[in-house]
Amino acid sequence: MPKIVLFSIFFSCLVLNSSCVNIPPKTTFENSNVLDSAMVVSAHPLASEIGKSILLKGGNAVDAAIAVQFALTVVHPSAGNIGGGGFMVVRFNDGSHTSLDFRETAPALASKDMYLDDKGNVIDRLSLDGHLAVGVPGTVDGMYSAFKKYGTLKWEELLQPSIDLANNGFVLTKLEAEGLNYYNSNKLKFNSISPTYLEGTWSQGDTLKLTDLGNTLALIRDYQRAGFYEGETAEKFIQEMNRNGGLITKNDLINYQSKWRDPVVGMYKNFKVISMGPPSSGGACLLQILKMIESFNLKKMGFHSADAVHLIVEAEKRAFADRSKYLGDPDFIRIPLEKLLDSNYLIDRMRNYSSLRATISDSIYPGDFDFVESDQTTHYSIVDAYGNAASVTTTLNSSYGSGVVVGGAGFLLNNEMDDFSSKPGAPNLYGLVGGSANAIEPNKRMLSSMTPTILEKDKKLFMVVGTPGGSTIITGVLQTILNVIEFDLSMQDAVSAGRFHHQWKPKEIKIEQNKFDSTLIFQLMQMGHSFNFVGSMNRVDAIVVAKDGSLEPGADPRGDDAYSGF
């Protein structure tokens, strides 16, 4: 891929002044299935460049993921974070895989009805705005845990590029400038100590310096996990909580622990799908939908045909109905994952599917089986020169999270508490409903839709994919996969293509306007579907391994998303 080589070497010499020749030796790992290139696709060109600089130094996909995560905290503050959490799925070049859950937890002082008024009604936006909306962040513990287990470069090397970026400043893209202006108009008010560097009106081309954040990142560089969960940063965090009724305590911070979990793994035709398990619903729902549609001839139906959209939407409704009842934090509830992913069960779920008529959402219920119940995000995809892959989705929840910046420490806090079900049946920000499985409990993780995913074909790495977008994450990942493996689109076309989404409730198909022709909409209406047209859906970032072993990026044109590689 000569274009990538020329561009990336020029850019990294110019911007990062990093070594441009230190390509890792191909013999570093025994038995390695070495690719002749490596790639990062993320929401921001500077973050992708930092990731590439780590890969060029010989770092592996996990090293690069850590560096990209910290870089996005600086250059993509609406979602990139140290004040939030996320999930990482890793596939190693020997075919083994693992996943890391660095999802936020409810503070120990949280309680089931904390967002309800005296009459038991949900208090509008209490789980979304300000200090009470914040879950205990997991990112820094997650990154350090990933580093301890799989990192090969020095921790300092992974942090320093982001510290430099924060302290020296970086030039805003149009989207980031607009984002900061949105933050100033809507979210700055949740701070009593105003992050002055964020005030004012921003334009494309302005330089933003984030020196408070630079200092915090330097503490994390020097003291690792303790640089965030203890000492100066923790003090500032607790002072911030105390300023306006936040619940997070010193103990919450000290006790936070990310967890290594088994990914959910299943087959779709001859593709092995490796994705995130609970407390994310992403992998389970993705596999459910894939299994429900597997026996139909999607290819024959055709890309964006009424039959294909109808089939996918109908399967989505059934998966989201199951999500609402059965999924939550596996450390708190029993999840019948085996049953939910069982082929016979999923075939049975489609028994009342009609290829001609939409099934009314109110007539679909979560699957009923014998089971005792005990009781603005961002994604990046990485493949390193050794053939290892990392798929990471990370979030503050909504854009700029709770809006609260930890005074003097310069980082935004999440509003992830809204991902719990505040009250059975009451929709959250993404219209998702849930019940007791996802009720608030102290120290519990809120159910997520994040779906960082890796596919393999014939035992070889095939695709790394993921996206932000709340509930639309699951269906965005699904369509991107199907666009490539069923409809033969290139990775970039698969990512750029229009997207649609159904989540059982509400009853409409959410669909990107101007990306589907009116005949299709008319045909689907005749089948009984209704629509919610939206401007632009999620930003998918993906990599596919072409037949010759080279890497093909899909960087979403809906954002500043960019790839970098060599």
Site of tokens 């809006």: 403
Q: How far is the CB of 445 from ligand DON (least distance, A)?
A: 10
- CB-based contact 138:105 (threshold 8 Å): yes
User: Length of the chain in residues, anyone?
Assistant: 566
Of 173, 215, 288, 395, the residue at the interface with ligand DON (CB under 6 A) is: 395
**Is residue 419 a contact point for ligand DON (CB under 6 A)?**
yes
Q: What is the spatial distance between Cα 158 and Cα 51, in angstroms, rounded to a whole number?
A: 9
Residue nearest to ligand DON (CB): 377
Of 77, 130, 410, 468, the residue at the interface with ligand DON (CB under 6 A) is: 468
Where does this chain touch ligand DON (CB under 6 A) — which range of 112-120, 161-169, 341-349, 462-470?
462-470
Of 263, 469, 476, 554, the residue at the interface with ligand DON (CB under 6 A) is: 469
Where does this chain touch ligand DON (CB under 6 A) — which range of 51-59, 464-472, 477-485, 544-552?
464-472
Number of residues that bind ligand DON (CB under 6 A): 13
Of 81, 377, 483, 496, the residue at the interface with ligand DON (CB under 6 A) is: 377
Q: How far is the CB of 395 from ligand DON (least distance, A)?
A: 5
Of the two residues 76 and 310, which places its CB atom closer to ligand DON in the complex?
A: 76
**Is residue 470 a contact point for ligand DON (CB under 6 A)?**
yes
Of 93, 249, 258, 376, the residue at the interface with ligand DON (CB under 6 A) is: 376
Q: How far is the CB of 23 from ligand DON (least distance, A)?
A: 35
Label residue 108 exposed, middle or buried (CB < 10 Å: 0-12, 13-18, 19+).
middle
Q: What is the spatial distance between Cα 545 and Cα 531, in angstroms, rounded to a whole number?
A: 35
Site of tokens 């320093």: 160
**Is residue 99 a contact point for ligand DON (CB under 6 A)?**
no
Please identify which of the residues 139, 233, 249, 377 carries the catalytic annotation.
377
Reported in sequence order, the residue ranges of 483-522 that DSSP labels E, i.e. its strands, are 500-501, 509-512
Q: Which two tokens stand for residue 155?
A: 């921790």
Of 449, 475, 483, 564, the residue at the interface with ligand DON (CB under 6 A) is: 449
Of the two residues 180 and 545, which places its CB atom closer to ligand DON in the complex?
A: 180
Of 47, 133, 241, 473, the residue at the interface with ligand DON (CB under 6 A) is: 473
Distances, alpha carbon 277 to alpha carbons 45, 194, 196, in Å: 29, 38, 40
**Is residue 397 a contact point for ligand DON (CB under 6 A)?**
yes
* Separation of first and last alpha carbons in the chain: 8
377 catalytically annotated:
yes
Q: Residue 263: which residues within 8 A CB-CB, separation 6 or more?
A: 89, 97, 98, 99, 274, 275, 276, 277, 283
**Is residue 434 a contact point for ligand DON (CB under 6 A)?**
no
**Is residue 450 a contact point for ligand DON (CB under 6 A)?**
yes
**Is residue 479 a contact point for ligand DON (CB under 6 A)?**
no
Distances, alpha carbon 349 to alpha carbons 31, 66, 267, 338, 345, in Å: 43, 40, 18, 15, 6
**Is residue 465 a contact point for ligand DON (CB under 6 A)?**
no
Q: What is the spatial distance between Cα 298 and Cα 305, in angstroms, rounded to a whole number?
A: 9
In the stretch 325-364, what mask flags binding to ligand DON with x, by CB under 6 A?
Answer: ----------------------------------------
List, as one string, the DSSP characters of 52-88: HHHHHTT--HHHHHHHHHHHHHHH-TTT--SSSEEEE
| Footprint of ligand DON on 148-207 (CB under 6 A) | none
Q: How far is the CB of 468 from ligand DON (least distance, A)?
A: 4
Relative to beta strand 509-512, strand 531-534 is parallel
Where does this chain touch ligand DON (CB under 6 A) — which range of 224-232, 287-295, 466-474, 545-553?
466-474
Between vectors from CA 75 to CA 16 and to CA 159, what angle results, nearest 5°? 55
Reported in sequence order, the residue ranges of 475-546 that DSSP labels E, i.e. its strands, are 500-501, 509-512, 531-534, 541-545
Q: Residue 257: which residues within 8 A CB-CB, separation 6 or more?
A: 141
Q: How far is the CB of 392 from ligand DON (least distance, A)?
A: 13
Catalytic positions = 377
The binding site for ligand DON (CB under 6 A) comprises: 376-377, 395, 397, 416, 419, 448-450, 468-470, 473
